[in-house]
């Protein structure tokens, strides 16, 4: 394929002087699903998906199912059985032909992850995604967890709670998080990414604003590159022990300092779903790569 990066990612790479590193890493990006990737997908009980809703707001959602609910059905195509929890903001988008989506399969048991971006189309049992970009990421900042049961625990999601700002309980939820997922978009499609660190790495500066340090990574700068041209973003926080999810949509900007990069996110809407996921995970074994938490500038 041609250059896997759009101008936003290239602008960030050039600003930080890492274009050569990004070129090397970018050779792994392609439209094909290799056998090892297909096998990995087939073992996963969850999938994160990012897309825009009918109003254009970005959201990140969690899908779960018995392993095999996500599977490769061809060299450039995956099928997903089922869909989001009741009341999820992306339900309508995933039932619409041609929705640009980013997907992220992350396995806390092995600290492996892969991303697949493309275009979704509904099916009788769920939806399919025609792959445009497929690649793996390193395990840096991924916390290790074990699944507390060999299969999803039977559960029903609770009543959805919607708001325009974070409640005190939701602020505590975010401050205690060691992981979140972020959906962003550009002219060439959507992307779903991961951010991890020690608890406290995400700071709540007001009921409508969060911030976090952007830690060193693989130099692709897909998320920050998307935000260069389109500030829309959707965040997903998961309570790994109860299955509760907190989804936030809004806008994000990144400040590039001499010693650090800080991303600030402004909340436009919140969706909290108790027990949205039937999966129950252990307490984390934190990644040895996680930096000490420090206050944002």
Boundaries of every domain in the chain: 7-273
Confidence of residue 1 (pLDDT cuts 50, 70, 90): low
CB 267 within 8 A of CB 210: yes
Q: Distance (Å, rounded) from C-alpha 195 to C-alpha 182?
A: 8
Does the pLDDT of residue 265 top 80, yes or no?
Answer: yes
Question: What per-residue confidence (pLDDT) applies to 155?
Answer: 63
∠ Cα 51 54 59 (to 5°): 30
Does the pLDDT of residue 197 top 90, yes or no?
Answer: yes
Does the pLDDT of residue 273 top 90, yes or no?
Answer: yes
CB 140 within 8 A of CB 102: no
Name residues whose C-beta falls within 8 Å of residue 139's C-beta, 6 or more positions apart in sequence.
111, 112, 113, 287
Report, as an integer, the average pLDDT of 51-61.
97
Report, as an integer, the average pLDDT of 177-195.
96
Question: What per-residue confidence (pLDDT) applies to 297?
Answer: 47
Q: Distance (Å, rounded) from C-alpha 106 to C-alpha 177?
A: 16
Question: What per-residue confidence (pLDDT) applies to 138?
Answer: 86
pTM, two decimals, is: 0.95
> How far is residue 72 CA from its own chain's centroid?
20
CB 8 within 8 A of CB 38: no
Question: What per-residue confidence (pLDDT) applies to 133?
Answer: 93
CB 288 within 8 A of CB 278: no
∠ Cα 272 179 139 (to 5°): 145
Report, as an integer, the average pLDDT of 25-53.
95
Mean pLDDT of the chain: 94
Percent of the chain with pLDDT over 70: 96
Q: Which helix (H) or strand (E) holds 174?
A: helix 168-175
Report, as an integer, the average pLDDT of 236-247.
97
Output the CATH code of domain 7-273: 2.30.110.10
Report, as an integer, the average pLDDT of 82-106.
95
Lowest mean pLDDT among 7-21, 98-112, 236-250: 7-21
Confidence of residue 2 (pLDDT cuts 50, 70, 90): confident
Biggest distance spanned by C-alpha atoms of the chain: 52
Please write the tens of the pLDDT for every residue from 162-180. 999 999 999 999 999 999 9
Q: Measuring CA to CA, which residue among 281, 269, 242 is closest to residue 60? A: 269
Question: What per-residue confidence (pLDDT) applies to 110?
Answer: 97
Confidence of residue 151 (pLDDT cuts 50, 70, 90): low
Confidence of residue 258 (pLDDT cuts 50, 70, 90): confident
CB 103 within 8 A of CB 123: no
Question: What per-residue confidence (pLDDT) applies to 154?
Answer: 63
Burial class (CB in 10 A: 0-12, 13-18, 19+), 94: buried
Confidence of residue 153 (pLDDT cuts 50, 70, 90): low
Plot region of 17 (φ>0 → left; ψ -120 to 50 → alpha; else → beta): left
- Strands 202-206, 209-213: pairing kind: antiparallel
- Half-sphere exposure in the Cβ direction for 231 (13 Å, CA): 12
Strand partners, 135: 115
Question: What per-residue confidence (pLDDT) applies to 85?
Answer: 87
DSSP code for 296: -
Name residues whose C-beta falls within 8 Å of residue 219's C-beta, 6 or more positions apart in sequence.
13, 16, 18, 21, 22, 25
């Amino acid at each position: 394929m041609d250059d896997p990066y759009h101008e936003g990612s290239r602008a960030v790479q050039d600003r930080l002087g890492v274009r050569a590193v990004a070129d090397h890493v970018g050779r792994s990006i392609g439209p094909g699903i290799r056998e090892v990737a297909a096998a990995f997908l087939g073992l996963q009980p969850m999938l994160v998906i990012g897309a825009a809703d009918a109003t254009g707001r970005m959201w990140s959602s969690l899908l779960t199912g018995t392993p095999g609910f996500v599977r490769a059905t061809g060299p450039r195509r995956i099928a997903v059985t089922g869909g989001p929890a009741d009341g999820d903001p992306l339900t309508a988008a995933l039932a619409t032909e041609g929705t640009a989506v980013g997907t992220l399969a992350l396995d806390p048991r092995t600290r492996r992850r892969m991303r697949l971006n493309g275009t979704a189309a509904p099916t009788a049992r769920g939806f399919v995604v025609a792959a445009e970009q497929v690649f793996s990421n390193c395990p840096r900042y991924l916390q290790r967890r074990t699944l507390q049961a060999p299969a999803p625990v039977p559960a029903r999601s609770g009543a959805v709670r919607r708001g325009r700002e974070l409640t005190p309980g939701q602020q505590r939820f975010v401050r205690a998080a060691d992981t979140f997922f972020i959906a962003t978009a550009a002219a060439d499609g959507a992307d779903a990414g991961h951010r991890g660190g020690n608890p406290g790495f995400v700071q709540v500066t007001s009921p409508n604003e969060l911030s976090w340090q952007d830690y060193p990574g693989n130099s692709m700068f897909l998320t920050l590159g998307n935000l260069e041209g389109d500030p829309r973003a959707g965040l997903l926080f998961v309570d790994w022990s109860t299955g509760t999810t907190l989804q936030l949509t809004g806008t994000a900007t990144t400040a590039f300092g001499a010693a650090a990069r800080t991303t600030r996110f402004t909340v436009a809407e919140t969706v909290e779903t108790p027990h949205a996921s039937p999966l129950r995970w252990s307490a984390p074994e934190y990644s040895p790569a996680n930096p000490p938490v420090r206050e944002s500038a």
